[in-house]
Structure formats: C-alpha cells, structure tokens
C-alpha cells in the first residue's frame, strides 16, 4: 500500500496505518483498526484484500467512526451494502467473486496483488475519497444551515 499511501498524502489526504504490515486475520487486526478509528475520529478506510474485508466488517457493524470504505480486491461475495458509501475495485482475477451492493464496483485490468500499485487504481481511489469528502462536507453544511436557521425537526418553535 506504500505507493497508494504516498499518492494520497500528495493529494492532501491524511493517512494512518493501524500498525500492521502483514495481516493474518487472527492476531487482533480488526480490533486494532477499530481502535485506530476511535483515536483519529471519523475516517474513510481504504483496504487491500483482507484489509478491505476488515473495513467492510466494521462498516456493516455500523461503526460510528466510519465515513466510507474503498476496497481493493476485497475477498467477499454476495450482497454487501453497508450504510456508508462503499466503493470496490476488482482485478481480473477478482471478477470471479460475484458482488452486489457497493456504491460503485469497478474492474481494472491488473492482477490482485498489483491493485495497490496501479496508477489507474490510484486515480480512482482519489476520486472516490474526494466524493466522500464532498458528501460529508455537504452534510456538515446542511447541519450548520439548520443551526443557523434555528430549525427544529419534529417539534414546535
């Protein structure tokens, strides 16, 4: 994920790594990811392979700190529809896993292991993060408008 991490930082995004280089799925990585989200506050999680699966698990559990998920070759199939925006990049070989429900599913002409290193995938991830950022900014603006207008929902003034 190093080249993607560098690209995202060059685009102005803050990147955090939960502190593990190799994921095994059995040594507490999911808990570590959840703790990292609690510590840094609301964020979008970009994960490759098992990292994407762990991000989806947290999103499906309605983690309050999760703003969105960008998965790169997430080993998941079937109907997956978390309450946050979920974008999934698939490689040539990942196309064998049928998936329904993401906000967007895009296939790239690369191998699974190269998804995090592909320039086209990097561009796509930046676009998705900018989309989620604008969506979140819009929601903040709407909440701010409600406070400025002294609106109450479901009650009388």
Residues in the chain: 157
For the stretch 105-141, pLDDT in tens is 999 999 999 999 999 999 999 999 999 999 988 776 6
| Residue 106, both tokens | 């895009």
What CATH number was assigned to the domain covering residues 2-148?
Answer: 3.40.50.1820
pTM listed for this prediction: 0.85
CA–chain centroid gap for 70, Å, is 3
Q: What is the pLDDT of residues 58-115, one digit of tens each?
A: 999 999 999 999 999 999 989 999 999 999 999 998 877 788 889 999 999 999 999 9
Cβ count within 10 A of residue 51 = 23
Domain ranges across the chain? 2-148
Q: Please give the Cα distance from 61 to 34 (Å, whole number).
A: 11
**With the C-alpha atoms ordered 28, 30, 32, 34, is the resulting torsion angle positive or negative?**
negative
């Amino acid at each position: 994920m190093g080249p993607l991490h560098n690209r995202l930082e060059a685009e102005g995004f803050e990147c955090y790594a939960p502190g593990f280089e190799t994921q095994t799925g059995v040594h507490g990585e999911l808990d570590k990811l959840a703790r990292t989200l609690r510590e840094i506050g609301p964020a979008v999680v970009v994960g490759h392979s098992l990292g994407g699966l762990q991000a989806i698990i947290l999103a499906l559990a309605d983690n309050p700190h999760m703003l969105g998920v960008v998965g790169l070759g997430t080993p998941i199939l079937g109907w997956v529809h978390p309450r946050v925006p979920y974008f999934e990049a698939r490689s040539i070989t990942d196309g064998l896993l049928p998936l329904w429900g993401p906000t967007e599913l895009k296939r790239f002409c690369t191998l699974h292991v190269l998804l995090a290193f592909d320039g086209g995938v990097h561009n796509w991830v930046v676009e998705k993060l900018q989309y989620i950022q604008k969506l979140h900014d819009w929601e903040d603006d709407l909440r701010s408008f409600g406070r400025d207008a002294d609106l109450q929902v479901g009650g009388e003034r």
